[in-house]
Amino acid sequence: MINDKKILIRKPFNEQYTITITSELNGVDVFVSSVVQLRYDFTVISVNEINIEVRLVQLDNILLEANNPMVREVAQVSQIFGRMYNELHLLLDHAGNVISVLNNNLILSKWKQTKTEMEKHVLSNEDLKHAIMLNDNIFNSPEKILIAAQANEFLRIYFGQAFDRDVPSKASLKGTNIFNTIEMQWTTDLTCSVELPATDSIGSITLNTLTKPSERLAEKFNKEAYNQFADKLDINSLTVDLYQKETRVIDYPTGKIQEAEVEKIEIADIKRLYNKLHYKLSSDTGIVIRQGGQEKSARLVTDSKQNAESNTRFKFF
């Protein structure tokens, strides 16, 4: 019997997931869009009151669409460097924060191999030389490896702001806007489709998180956030729409996510200045609904009006 009002990973499990990331950025003179697909194998090895031991293996990283050759070049470099982190053995707290990286030695050995291979081909590519120097600095520090592991897309989408919090609840947190140009305070509101605690027999529940700026966005925010565009837009007159939405369908007794969507939107000018990111996480098993002792599969359905108004979505703190 579950006695708390939290969403937690409570039992070991294994699942394969697909993440589709759709991004659309307009920076007045620059428009970039892409669709990326990632595949993961996620295993919860053990769970106790303090932490969770997990193994996360990236199975695939494919750039499906891109409107700019530069995006493809960046993706290729990211894939090369990303192989160091395609096998992670981690100790997490119940909110999804990385306590320790248990396979540091494996990650370091992969970097040595990759660095040797890249140095053979670097020649006059200054960007690649800089990338090697930057990663060399990271892989000489266990603390920086931990930070890099924490930034893993899967962990951020899986846990978000949803786990190890009383439901319903509100919380305040620090972060940046999506353009990453200003630090700001956010307020996040967490709600659930059922009242918690619920019985183990309930099966799947839907968890919703809405995160908005804690204060009204005024001229001061516009000047600090969009100063680089001041010679091209009247930034003082901008009315900014800025938020993050998260929806997760979770198997309540285990804490296993069956399907999730996360949307992060920053629109300063609807035609010329915006950043939209959308992540969709799907388990291979799908949504399982328990009815009368039988299990039935389903899919996450979001509001049709919302989908019509927003073709792309999101990012993270």
Neighbours of 311 (CB within 10 A): 10
Q: Which tens digit of pLDDT belongs to each residue from 200-254?
A: 678 899 999 999 999 999 999 999 999 999 999 999 999 999 999 999 999 999 9
With pLDDT > 70 as the criterion, what percentage of the chain qualifies? 84
- Residue with the bigger pLDDT between 289 and 12: it is 12
Q: Average of pLDDT values for 279-285?
A: 96
Q: Is the C-alpha dihedral spanning 261, 266, 269, 274 positive or negative?
A: negative
| Encoded tokens for 263 | 């949307």
Closest among 57, 17, 58 to 248, alpha carbons compared: 17
Surface-to-core class of residue 143, CB atoms within 10 Å of its CB (0-12 exposed, 13-18 middle, 19+ buried) = exposed
What residue spans of the chain are helical by DSSP H? Answer: 69-82, 104-121, 126-138, 142-150, 153-159, 219-226, 304-309
Peptide bond into 12 cis (omega under 30): no
Q: Which tens digit of pLDDT belongs to each residue from 249-280?
A: 999 999 999 999 999 999 999 999 999 999 99
Mention the CATH class of domain 13-309: mainly beta
CA atoms within 13 A on the CB side of 178: 28
pTM over cut 0.75: yes
243 - beta bridge partners?
265
| Encoded tokens for 126 | 């200054």
Q: Average of pLDDT values for 118-143?
A: 68
Tokens 């000489």, located at residue: 140
CB–CB of 240/221 below 8 Å? yes
| Angle ∠(303,38,7) on CA atoms, nearest 5 | 55
Domains of the chain, residue spans: 13-309
